[in-house]
Amino acid sequence: MTTQGDVTTVSQVHRSSGDATRFALPKGQTFRAASGWSVLVGGNSGGGQLRVWRASALLPVENAAGGRVVAGIPSGATVYLVRPGGSVRYAAVAYRYQGVATAGLVDLATYSFTPYVTGLSTGAQIRYNDRWFAIDEGPNHTLSAVRVGSAPGTGPSALGDAGPYRLRAVVGDHLVLGDPEPASGASARVDAVSALDGSRRTVLDAAQSEVTFAQDGAALATAPDGTGLWRVHHILPGGDSGLQVWPSWIVVGAEAAGEEPVR
Mean pLDDT on 200-218:
91
Would you say residue 150 lies in a domain?
Answer: yes
Q: What's residue 10's pLDDT? A: 75
Range with top average pLDDT, 26-30, 66-70, 182-186: 182-186
Number of domains in the chain: 1
**In contact, 83 and 33? CB cutoff 8 Å:** yes
Alpha-carbon span 142 to 164, nearest angstrom:
11
The DSSP line for 132-172 is EEEEEETTTTEEEEEETTPPTTPPPEEEEE-TT-EEEEEET
Range of the domain at 199: 2-209
Would you say residue 228 lies in a domain?
Answer: no
Q: Does the pLDDT value for residue 57 go beyond 60?
A: no
Q: Select the more confidently predicted residue: 76 or 171.
A: 171
Share of the chain above pLDDT 90, in %: 55
CATH (domain of 38): 2.120.10
Would you say residue 232 lies in a domain?
Answer: no
Would you say residue 253 lies in a domain?
Answer: no
**In contact, 230 and 252? CB cutoff 8 Å:** yes
Task: Count other Cβ atoms within 10 Å, centred on residue 160.
Answer: 14
pLDDT band at 15; cut points 50, 70, 90 = low
Q: Select the more confidently predicted residue: 186 or 114.
A: 114
**In contact, 2 and 12? CB cutoff 8 Å:** no
Q: How many residues can be counted in the chain?
A: 263
**What is the tens place of the pLDDT at every residue in 121-150?**
878 999 999 999 999 999 989 999 999 999
Q: Does the pLDDT value for residue 63 go beyond 60?
A: no
Would you say residue 141 lies in a domain?
Answer: yes
**What is the tens place of the pLDDT at every residue in 154-166?**
999 999 999 999 9
Q: What's residue 14's pLDDT? A: 65
Would you say residue 257 lies in a domain?
Answer: no
Range 255-263 contact pairs with CB under 8 angstroms and sequence separation of 24 or more? 255/228, 257/208, 257/230, 259/206, 259/224, 259/230, 261/224, 261/227, 261/228, 262/206, 262/224, 262/225, 262/226, 262/227, 262/228, 263/226, 263/228
Of 240, 146, 242, whose CA–CA distance to 195 is shortest? 146
pLDDT band at 106; cut points 50, 70, 90 = very high
Q: Select the more confidently predicted residue: 62 or 152.
A: 152
pLDDT band at 254; cut points 50, 70, 90 = very low
Peptide bond into 60 cis (omega under 30): yes
**In contact, 85 and 106? CB cutoff 8 Å:** no
Determine the 3-state secondary structure of 179 from DSSP: coil
Would you say residue 263 lies in a domain?
Answer: no
Cβ partners under 8 Å of residue 116, min gap 6: 103, 104, 105, 133, 146, 150, 156
Would you say residue 222 lies in a domain?
Answer: no
Q: What is the pTM of this model?
A: 0.87
Q: Does the pLDDT value for residue 96 go beyond 70?
A: yes
**In contact, 128 and 90? CB cutoff 8 Å:** yes
